[in-house]
Amino acid sequence: MTPLVSRLSRLWAIMRKPRAAVGSGHRKQAASQEGRQKHAKNNSQAKPSACDGMIAECPGAPAGLARQPEEVVLQASVSSYHLFRDIAEVTAFRGSLLSWYDQEKRDLPWRRRAEDEMDLDRRAYAVWVSEVMLQQTQVATVINYYTGWMQEVNQLWAGLGYYSRGRRLQEGARKVVEELGGHMPRTAETLQQLLPGVGRYTAGAIASIAFGQATGVVDGNVARVLCRVRAIGADPSSTLVSQQLWGLAQQLVDPARPGDFNQAAMELGATVCTPQRPLCSQCPVESLCRARQRVEREQLLASRSLSGSPDVEECAPNTGQCHLCLPPSEPWDQTLGVVNFPRKASRKPPREESSATCVLEQPGALGAQILLVQRPNSGLLAGLWEFPSVTWEPSEQLQRKALLQELQRWAGPLPATRLRHLGEVVHTFSHIKLTYQVYGLALEGQTPVTTVPPGARWLTQEEFHTAAVSTAMKKVFRVYQGQQPGTCMGSKRSQVSSPCSRKKPRMGQQVLDNFFRSHISTDAHSLNSAAQ
C-alpha cells in the first residue's frame, strides 16, 4: 500500500468512527441546550435591526469577511429601495421561507446525512463533498456520484466535469488528516483559510449547515432570488452587486437555523424562482418581492387604472444614480416580467482550439494495453490522464511528425508508417471548443514497451474505463474502437470492453487505490508497474 493510500485509509477510519453519544433524531434536536445558548450569545450581534445590508457596515458580518478590501462599496451608489430596512420585514422573510422549506424541500442524500449525522467532522465532510460536487453541476447529475462517493469514500471523478474540484477536495482531505488531527475547521473564516479549494461560498455552506454558524451564502440560485426580491437589475457578477448580495444574505440568515435558511434560499432558486419560468404563485416570499411589485405596477400602468390603486414603491426613476437598478441601456422589458432581474452579462463564445491525439496500443499479458500520460497539475483538466497529444499543425505532414515525436518521447522508437488518422472528436468545455484529430498506432509483432518515464503508464482497456480520464478522451477512444456512441460493437482486434459491458469496480481498497494512483503524479513509478 502506498503512503498516500495509507493516509486516505486513515481518513476513511476517521469518517467511520463511532457516532458521538449525543442522542438521535434531527441534528437541531440533538444540540444541547448549553450549546444553543452559547451559539445564540455568539451570534446575537448578527441580528439585522442595525444592519443596512452592506457587509462593510453590518455589525453581524463575520469579521474575516467584512475586512476584505474588495467589499468596501460606496453607500451613495445604492438606493434604500434595494435593502431590507426593518426587522419586521426580515423576520417575515425568514419565517415564510423556512415554513415553505420545511414542507417542500427535496429529499436529497446530502441533506439526510447532514440532518442525521451526529459526529461534527463526518457531518462537515458530507456537506463539503456535496457542495464541491454541486459547483457548476445540476442536482440530478450529482445524486448518484455523491451516493457512490460517500459509500466508498472516493469514487472516480471522471464524467462529473470540472475535474480540479476533485483534486482540491483530495488535497483538503489530506490536510485534515495530516495537519488538523482529523478535525474539520469549525468556522467559515478558518475553513476558507485552512482548506485548499474552499472559497467563500463553500466555507459558508459548511459552517452554517454542519456547525450552525450564522453566516450567509450566495450561489447562483441565491443571487437570483435576492436580485428579484430586491429588484437588482445590474450585473450580479460585478464587484459592487456581488458584495451587496453577500450583505443581504448575511442580514437575512436566520441565527437559529442558519443551515436550513441557506438551503431554503438555494432550494427556492432551484425549484421556484428559476431562471426562465419562475413559479411566482408558489413563492413563499412573493409579497416581499420587488420584482413582482414592479410587474404589478407595470400592469396597472398598461391598463391605465393606476389612479385610486395602492401605491407601489419603486426606486427613484430615471436618475441614473442607483447602480443596482436595470442599466439605462437595458430598460424594463414588459415581456420578461420578473425575469428582468437579474440581467445576465453577455457571455463570450468559447474559443476554438485544435489538437491531435493518438491511441497507442501494444499487446500485453492480460490483453491489449494503451498508453496514457498525465496532464500538468494546473490548467484545463489538471492532473487527469489522456492519450499523448500535441497542438494542431497547419499541414498533415507536420502534424504526423509532431505527434510521432510526442509518442516516442514516452514509448521510444516507433514505426511511423503505422500511424493512421481515424477521424475527429469535438468537445466543448465551459470556455473552450476543442477539436481532436484522432490517430491510432498499434504495435503488433514487436517487443512490448515495458518501461515508461514518470507521468505515463500502460493500462488495459478495462482499467481505462475506471481511470481518471475526461469525457473527451472517452469519445476519442470510441473513435479508435470504430464504434458510435451508445453501441456495444467493439473492435475484435483491440478487444476493448465498451462502457455498456464493463464491470463496475469492486468496493473497498481497490477503489481507493485506483482513484489515488490516477491523481498523484508522485506515485507514477509504482502505478506503472502495477498496471503492467
Give CA 330 to chain center in angstroms.
Answer: 31
Give the C-alpha separation, 409 to 308, whole Å: 82
Torsion, CA 432, CA 437, CA 438, CA 443, rounded to 10: -120
Q: Pick from 109, 140, 102, 104: which is nearest to 127 by CA?
A: 109
The answer, yes or no, to whether residue 26 has pLDDT greater than 60, is: no
DSSP 469: B
pLDDT in tens, 226-236: 999 999 998 88
pLDDT of residue 393: 87
pLDDT in tens, 46-60: 333 333 333 333 333
Q: How confident is the model at residue 492 (pLDDT cuts 50, 70, 90)?
A: very low
The answer, yes or no, to whether residue 240 has pLDDT greater than 50, is: yes
Q: Which residues contact 453 (CB under 8 A, 6 or more apart)?
A: 409, 410
CB 78 within 8 A of CB 324: yes
Cell 451508445 belongs to 486
pLDDT in tens, 432-447: 899 999 999 988 777 7
For residues 141 and 527, the model is more confident at 141
Overall average pLDDT of the 142-169 stretch: 59
pLDDT of residue 433: 92
Q: Of 152-166, 208-222, 234-248, 461-475, where does mean pLDDT reach its minimum?
A: 152-166
Overall average pLDDT of the 290-294 stretch: 94
Question: What long-range pairs does 315-318 form, CB within 8 A, spacing at least 24?
Answer: 315/79, 315/81, 315/82, 315/231, 316/79, 316/81
pLDDT in tens, 120-132: 888 888 888 888 7
R_g over Cα of the chain: 27
For residues 239 and 528, the model is more confident at 239
pLDDT of residue 508: 39
pLDDT of residue 320: 58
The answer, yes or no, to whether residue 424 has pLDDT greater than 90, is: yes
The grid coordinates listed for 412 are: 521510444
pLDDT in tens, 295-323: 998 888 877 655 555 555 677 654 556 88
- Among candidate residues 71, 117, 131, 361, the one labeled active-site is 131
Give the C-alpha separation, 480 to 493, whole Å: 11
The answer, yes or no, to whether residue 516 has pLDDT greater than 70, is: no
298 classed as catalytic: no
Most confident by average pLDDT, 165-169, 217-221, 328-332: 217-221
Give the C-alpha separation, 315 to 102, whole Å: 33
C-alpha distances out from residue 495 to 245, 369, 482, Å: 55, 10, 12
CA dihedral sign of residues 170, 108, 281, 100:
negative
Give the C-alpha separation, 369 to 448, whole Å: 10
pLDDT in tens, 246-268: 999 999 999 999 999 999 999 99
Using DSSP bridges, classify how beta strands 420-428 and 385-386 pair: parallel, antiparallel or unpaired.
unpaired
CB 471 within 8 A of CB 161: yes
The grid coordinates listed for 358 are: 493518438
Q: What is the mean pLDDT of the chain?
A: 74
Q: Of 393-402, 432-441, 495-504, where does mean pLDDT reach its minimum?
A: 495-504
pLDDT of residue 316: 62
Overall average pLDDT of the 233-241 stretch: 89
The grid coordinates listed for 72 are: 468596501
For residues 72 and 459, the model is more confident at 459
Q: How confident is the model at residue 138 (pLDDT cuts 50, 70, 90)?
A: confident
